[in-house]
Amino acid sequence: MSEQIISIRFLSFEGFSNKRFAFAEMGRSFVQKWESDGLSFAKHLGVGAGNGFSVWPDFSTYAFLGVFDNQAASDHFFNTNERWLSLSARSSATKGYDAVAIKGHGTWNGSNPFSIVEDPGNGPLLVMTRASIVWYKSPIFWFYVSHASKYLENRAGLLFAKGVGELPLIEQATLSLWDSSENLDAFAYKSKEHAPMIKKTRTIGWYSEELFTRFRVVATIE
């Protein structure tokens, strides 16, 4: 496959030393970029505690997001990159997805790292909503998020959902996996719980930057 590949991996860690290593690696990512042939964008992200939508971090779980020129570049990175291998060797479990971006808008750190391609039409859908939150509006944002996240539970077609972020409270993203576009669209555009959140976003204006992207999963990594 020649299209750009977006690779997302969740890593779990057990034991104090391994958790400390993963936390330090996240800090390192702020000052030393991930580098590999064909890697154009990378983020080491923390995960919220509980159901993932919490102001408190889960120090046992982290997420890696990489944007690669193609599948070969992604495979090469995960098989040979010493920095990644050092991190994953300390994890007790690694799982994730390879996907292509099929719809989206917005920016992340001033630009959009995802190239939109024609929908291949197979596999579940992965959705990312990412935002920089205006710091003085973060309390009201987290008040509404804590309530809205409860409506995701037992939602028809929802396979997985987690809150991730670069910085506590103000740099946040949501990743959700859906079994079909029909169930995703029913929640996104018809849900009586989700629609008010969209309206509040526009009314309150709590984002200084936002990005929405819909991906088609092309591979699941267990």
User: What integer is the mean pLDDT of 21-27?
Assistant: 93
Domain 5-221 class, CATH top level = alpha beta
CB 177 within 8 A of CB 124: yes
Nearest to 113 by CA among 132, 135, 128: 128
Q: Specify the length of the chain in residues.
A: 222
What are the structural domain ranges in the chain? 5-221
Q: Band of the pLDDT at 8, cuts 50, 70, 90? A: very high
Q: What is the pTM of this model?
A: 0.87
Average pLDDT, the chain: 85
Please list the alpha-helical segments (H only) found in 155-220. Answer: 181-185, 194-204
User: What integer is the mean pLDDT of 4-21?
Assistant: 97
The per-residue pLDDT for 129 is 87
The per-residue pLDDT for 206 is 67
* 46-100 per-position pLDDT tens digit: 988 765 556 678 899 999 999 999 999 999 999 999 999 999 999 999 999 999 9
Q: Band of the pLDDT at 194, cuts 50, 70, 90? A: low
CB 125 within 8 A of CB 201: no
The per-residue pLDDT for 43 is 94
pLDDT over 90, % of the chain: 55
Q: Band of the pLDDT at 11, cuts 50, 70, 90? A: very high
